[in-house]
Amino acid sequence: MTRPISTHIMATMADDRCTAAFVKEMADAGMDSVRINSAHVDPHSIAAMTATIRAAAPEVAILMDTKGPEIRTTSLADDVDSITLADGDRLTLVADPHATTRPGLIAIAVAGLDKYLKPGHRILIDDGAIELTVAESAGNEDGVTAIVTRGGKLGSRKTVAAPEVELPPLPAVSERDRVNIAAAIECGVSMIAHSFVRSAADVEAVRSLIAGTDITLYAKIECREAVENLDEILAAADGLLVARGDLGTQVAVERIPAIQHRIACLCRTVDKPVIVATQMLDSMERNPYPTRAEVSDIAFAVLEGIDTLLLTGETARGAYPVRCVEVMRRTIEETEAYLNNL
């Protein structure tokens, strides 16, 4: 029998894993809430997933996050799971949301973005797991030539960051977001987290769409502008979500611990909840046991007073999703027991 804990565990769930048996197993292991990433699903999937979760574990809360003003690669061909990019490979970048990403060509789902890329600019993909350097600027409709400086396996619809580039303005709420938010409201989700918030105005744009509901609205802190405007964003939102993956492509990675601590302190001061996400148990996507650094990361988040710890790739696609929840729960138990005995 497990001890009750006050720090919540949220797990990202992909639609192809969202079965009644899996949801129940995860809930029994200690999962309190589920995150649905709307960047990878449509309204039909949102409805199907929420119905499955409620039937299998009615006590589990549901959060949907929006796409927001983010930049992603386009989908791969249906018969391709991933593309291997090796250091030194030359490829073409095109800014075309209708193009398919394929070997030798990466399509970015924001039209016109390639016009802002100049030689030497870095392009970080999938939370920085893959890095490209622009070799030649766009001179025609064929796109930009880039060289792979940090290779890896590229899947469909991965995040893109260009930290040295002054990007074109993007709308706070896309049409896709509007459709998915409407579906989330209809399904009665508990929480919405808006991605790539830059200012209080971005939060208010979503607030207007959920007016009259009981949905808790989180602002995801994952870009430089959000860090600069933390106070006004927190005043507009019901809580903050520290998305450390994308944040680490926007600011120096060594700043992230201090930024997380500052956010935790700000949220405690005004009695608003905070969620921390990304790479909490990254090694367990592939291995059945965590590193000592990972369990320390969980423990120190508990010590900081973080309300919810969010597993992302570990449970969406990792090999040991249930074990991840169990490891997180046991680490929280031991840390909270230490705090209670002080």
Q: Which residues belong to the active site? A: 35, 72, 220, 278
Residue 113 φ then ψ, to 5°: -65, -35
CA 219, CA 146: separation in Å to the nearest integer?
Answer: 33
Q: Scanning the structure block, which residue is given the tokens 């938010």?
A: 181
Q: Which residues pair with 123 in a beta bridge?
A: 132
Torsion angle defined by CA atoms of residues 147, 151, 155 and 160, in that order, rounded to the nearest 10 degrees: -60
Inter-residue contact 78 to 214 (CB < 8 Å):
no
**If we measure between CA atoms, which residue out of 76, 276, 250, 270 comes closest to residue 163?**
250
Cα-based distances in Å from 87 to 147, 158, 246: 8, 19, 22
Cβ neighbourhood burial of 139 (10 Å; 0-12, 13-18, 19+): exposed
Name every residue whose Cβ is closer than 8 Å to that of residue 331 and which is 6 or more positions away in sequence: 295, 298, 299, 302
Beta-bridge mates of residue 92: 105, 145
Q: Which two tokens stand for residue 315?
A: 């449970």
Residue 252 CA to its chain's centroid (Å)? 18
